[in-house]
Amino acid sequence: MNRIEFVMAVAVVVLGSVFPLSEAVAGTASPAKTQLHSSPQSGKAMPLQNLETSFSAMAAKENPSLRVYPLDCGRIRIKDMDMFADDGSYKGVSAQLVVSCYLIRHPKGDLLWDTGIGDQFTGPKGVELMPGNVAYMPVTLRSQLAWLGTRPGKIRYLAFSHEHIDHIGNANLMTGAIWLLNPKEHQWTVREEGHDGAPPALLAESTKAKIQWVKDDYDVFGDGTVRILQTPGHTPGHQSLFVRPSGEQPLILAGDVWHSRVNFLHNRVPRFNTSRSQTIASMQLLRDLARKTGARIVIGHAPEDFAPLNMGR
Ligand SMILES: [Zn+2]
């Protein structure tokens, strides 16, 4: 499906298919009111070599009210998973992937990490991303944010694991956000229009938005609790997110460094990744960080990773 067909495709909006996400992910506590930080740039760049030192130094500095809310940002039915391993392991195998986004609620404001398939594709008909691969949103992101007491225009910071089509679908709704963009990734999207089916029009709002370029590992709120990590390979500027929720095990939201638990087990690399060697290095980086910090690695498209997050929080 080309860019125009994707943008013009019609989705069926299914009303009433909502589920109590706020309670499912937040336990009995009601979501805290967002407190916006007056400075647009509270983050700071963190050279990679300093990460390990800073992680151990940060061990006792949890933020008392940092919460992570997983959001259901879509499903993708894949007819043939062959493209997800360059050794042919999945030829002819079909599967369904989940698409996850995350609202990180910090006293300085909300960070939205990824935006999913796109609210216009709510309903089982969805949109055909490429022949045989159909994506849809079970419920709109907008309504999930409403359950958490906010709305797209109030999101303070917006960042992406990468700029593939299943991660940027709702980006243009975030009209008041500061966009934390990776220049390598963004230039790849804009320059090579239509790469892997990701149309730059899905990021059109960025031309009006305040942009903070993130070239290196980046401490979003300046207190070490939420860090963007450079994990290229799946795409040129792929990133992962290290989060230290209050009183809970730290999380590494690994985006598409892996697409499934079986890929994680065997370090399998999708055929369509932009660099095999960078992918392997990023996998190793996240495994090392998980070991050193006790963090749990969360694979964004793995149903078995997403479901426990929903039920356990
Ligand atoms: Zn993806």
User: How far apart (Å, rounded) are the C-alpha atoms in residues 259 and 98?
Assistant: 10
Query: Which stretch of 172-176, 187-191, 292-296 has the lowest confidence by average pLDDT?
Result: 187-191
Convert the pLDDT of each residue in 198-239 to its tens digit: 788 999 999 999 999 999 999 999 999 999 999 999 999 999
pLDDT band at 2 (very low <50, low <70, confident <90, very high): very low
What is the chain's Cα-based Rg? 18
Give the Å distance between the CA of 17 and the centre of ligand 1. 24
| DSSP assignment letter at 137 | B
**Beta-strand (E) ranges in the chain?**
44-46, 67-78, 95-106, 109-113, 127-130, 133-136, 157-159, 178-181, 210-213, 217-219, 226-230, 239-243, 251-253, 296-298
Convert the pLDDT of each residue in 57-94 to its tens digit: 444 455 568 999 999 999 999 999 999 999 999 999 99
Residue 143 DSSP SS3: helix
Give the Å distance between the CA of 161 and the centre of ligand 1. 9
Convert the pLDDT of each residue in 18-66 to its tens digit: 222 222 233 222 332 222 222 334 555 544 334 444 444 444 455 568 9
CA proximity to 155, closest of 114, 207, 214, 202: 114
Give the Å distance between the CA of 304 and the centre of ligand 1. 16
Give the Å distance between the CA of 189 and the centre of ligand 1. 15
User: How far apart (Å, rounded) are the C-alpha atoms in residues 242 and 260?
Assistant: 19
pLDDT of residue 43: 59
Give the Å distance between the CA of 60 and the centre of ligand 1. 33
Give the Å distance between the CA of 169 and the centre of ligand 1. 11
Give the Å distance between the CA of 167 and the centre of ligand 1. 6
Convert the pLDDT of each residue in 112-137 to its tens digit: 999 999 999 997 789 998 888 999 99
% residues pLDDT > 70 (the chain): 76
Give the Å distance between the CA of 28 and the centre of ligand 1. 31
Give the Å distance between the CA of 301 and the centre of ligand 1. 7
Give the Å distance between the CA of 56 and the centre of ligand 1. 30
pTM (two decimals):
0.81
Give the Å distance between the CA of 171 and the centre of ligand 1. 15
pLDDT of residue 15: 25
The CATH homologous superfamily of the domain defined by 43-312: Ribonuclease Z/Hydroxyacylglutathione hydrolase-like (3.60.15.10)
Give the Å distance between the CA of 15 and the centre of ligand 1. 26
pLDDT of residue 90: 95
pLDDT of residue 28: 27
